[in-house]
Amino acid sequence: MQAYAVTADGLSVVRGGVEVLRGISVEIATGGVTGLLGPSGSGKTTLLRCILGLQRIARGTVCVLGRPNGDPALRTEVGYATQEASVYDDLTVAQNLRYFAALLGTPAADVVRVIEAVQLGGYADRLAGRLSGGQRSRVSLAVAMLGTPRLLVLDEPTVGLDPLLREDLWTLFHRVAADGVSVLVSSHVMDEADRCDRLLLLREGAVLAHDTPAALKDRTGTGSMEAAFLTLVRSG
C-alpha cells in the first residue's frame, strides 16, 4: 500500500487568467478522513479536480495512489461525488445505482452493497426526486462508492444539510475509512474540521496548514478550529 493517497508537487492551475492554485506541494497520507478546508474560492474544488484528472494543470505534478493523475487505471480506484448530487430524479434509488454501475462496469451485486452502506435500504425503490436533500446526498455517495474505490473524493457533501444529517454523513465517512478507504472531504464549514483525522487548510490557492485538528489548535493556542484558522491566516 502507498504511504500517500495523493502527492502534489509544485501544482499550479490558472483559471480565467488567474493563478488559482499557486505551486501547491503536499502529501496526503493513505487512510482516514482528510478534510480539505478553506474559504469559498480558495481552490478546494480546483484541487479536487486536479486529483481526479479533470483539470488542466499549468505547472507541477499530481500523483494519486502512486499513479499520475488521470491515469486510466485510477478510474475504478477513485470514487468522486460532485458538489451537486448527481442523480436522476425520475429513476429510483436502485435504478440510479444500476445505471451508474453499468457505466462503470461494476457488477450489479455491488448496487445492493452500496445502498446498504449509505443506509438507504428502505428507500431502494423510491424515486430519487422524492427523497430529502440528505437522502439524495447519500445516493450520490453510494454512486461514488461503486466498485470499491481506494480513494473517495467528496466535494462539500454536507452543504445545506441540517446538523443531524451532517452528523449521519460524517459517521458514514468514518465507517468507510475504517474499511481501509482514504476519504478526502472538502468543506468550507470550520465546525466540520474537528470531525477529520487530518486537515488540509487552503487559502487563496496555497496551503495554509496540513496537520491534525488537535495539533493545529495546539500550535495556535486556540480552542476551536475557527479560531485556529483565523490565527493561521493572521500569522501567515
Ligand X SMILES: Nc1ncnc2c1ncn2[C@@H]1O[C@H](COP(=O)(O)OP(=O)(O)OP(=O)(O)O)[C@@H](O)[C@H]1O
Nearer to ligand X, 51 or 78 (CB): 51
Query: Quick one: 54 or 178, whose CB is closer to ligand X?
Result: 54
State in angstroms the smallest separation of the CB of 149 from ligand X.
Answer: 21
Q: At what angle do helices 133-145 and 109-117 cross, to 10 degrees?
A: 130
Q: Which residues pair with 37 in a beta bridge?
A: 187, 201
Indicate the residue among 43 and 79 with the shorter CB distance to ligand X: 43
**The three cell numbers locating residue 202:** 487552503
Q: Which amino acid does the sequence have at 222?
A: T
Smallest separation (angstroms) from ligand X to the CB of 124: 31
Sort 43 into a burial class: Cβ within 10 Å, 0-12 / 13-18 / 19+: buried
Give me the phi and psi of 198, to 5 degrees please.
-140, 155
CA dihedral defined by 106, 112, 118, 122, rounded to 10 degrees?
Answer: 150
Q: What is the smallest separation between the CB atom of 19 and ligand X, expressed in angstroms?
A: 9
16 vs 163, beta carbon nearer ligand X? 16
Q: Which is nearer to ligand X, 38 or 157 (CB)?
A: 38
Give the residue nearest to ligand X (CB).
Answer: 16
Least distance to ligand X, CB of residue 40, Å? 3
Measured from the CB of residue 160, what is the shortest distance to ligand X in angstroms? 12
- Of 131 and 196, which CB lies nearer to ligand X in the complex structure? 196
Q: Residues interacting with ligand X, by CB under 6 A?
A: 15-16, 20, 38, 40-46, 188
Strand 182-187 to 4-15 pairing = unpaired
How far apart, in Å, are the Cα atoms of 127 and each of 14, 130, 164, 232? 40, 5, 23, 45
Distance in angstroms (rounded) separating the CA atoms of residues 51 and 39: 19
CB of 20 to ligand X, least distance (A): 4
E strand or H helix at 71, and its extent? none
Closer residue to ligand X in complex, CB, 59/188:
188
The minimum distance between CB 127 and ligand X, in angstroms, equals 28
Instruction: Give the integer Cα–Cα distance in Å for 101 and 223.
Output: 44
Q: How, if at all, do strands 67-68 and 59-64 pair?
A: antiparallel
